[in-house]
């Protein structure tokens, strides 16, 4: 019985590590990149020009990255 509970504790620890790694990658890179990509294509569709679309994408990426780090970071 104790061997089974040890294995469950180990599995829970591995699950927590995986969850934290996935959430860290998603919030640090995935969310800001997705928003920047959407803004880039929005800039292209609205005929803002390629340079302006790239500039808007960079600004949105930086802003979203800052917001995600400030509000959505998981602290243990």
Reported as a single tens digit per residue, the pLDDT across 7-56 is 887 888 888 888 888 888 888 888 899 999 999 999 999 999 999 999 99
Residue 21 within any structural domain of the chain: yes
Residue 32 within any structural domain of the chain: yes
Reported as a single tens digit per residue, the pLDDT across 47-70 is 999 999 999 999 999 999 998 888
What's the domain range around 51? Answer: 2-71
DSSP 46: T
The domain total for the chain is: 1
Residue 16 within any structural domain of the chain: yes
Kindly give, in sequence order, each residue whose CB lies less than 8 Å from that of residue 52, ignoring residues fewer than 6 positions away: 43
Closest CA to 57 of 71, 24, 48, 67: 48
């Amino acid at each position: 019985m104790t061997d089974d509970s040890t294995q469950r504790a180990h599995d829970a620890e591995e699950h927590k590590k995986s969850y934290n790694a996935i959430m860290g990658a998603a919030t640090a890179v995935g969310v800001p990149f997705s928003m920047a990509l959407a803004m880039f294509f929005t800039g292209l569709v609205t005929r803002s020009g390629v340079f302006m679309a790239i500039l808007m994408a960079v600004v949105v990426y930086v802003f979203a990255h800052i917001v995600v780090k400030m509000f959505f970071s998981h602290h243990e």
